[in-house]
Amino acid sequence: MDWGMVPGETVVIKSKDITLRDIVQAIVDGADTVPAVKETFGLTDADEGVNDLEDILDVFVPAIDALRNGGCSGCGGGCSGCHGHC
């Protein structure tokens, strides 16, 4: 699944009604690893959807880090927001 294109209201962990938006907010709040997200929501490996967390983190952690650092890693950093201008 392309988590970057999924609506925020999509339920990821059905048993606890945790949405993608909830998980992204947890990442913004500092839970940037699977164990940290699981701890934030009190999840176990048995919760359906937990296996999607790594893929979600792979999409959103770098995006949030880029925003925190000004959106680009500098000239030639490959960020689409730079548009080749420095």
pLDDT value of position 86: 44
Going by pLDDT thresholds of 50, 70 and 90, the confidence category of residue 79 is low
pLDDT value of position 70: 84
Residue 18 pairs in a beta bridge with 13
pLDDT value of position 30: 96
Number of alpha carbons in the 13 Å side-chain half-sphere of residue 8: 7
pLDDT at 39 over 50: yes
Going by pLDDT thresholds of 50, 70 and 90, the confidence category of residue 75 is low
Strand ranges, E, within 11-82: 11-13, 18-19
pLDDT value of position 69: 87
Residues with Cβ within 8 Å of residue 12, at least 6 apart in sequence: 18, 19, 20, 22, 23, 49, 52, 53, 56
Of residues 27 and 74, which shows the higher confidence score? 27
pLDDT value of position 29: 97
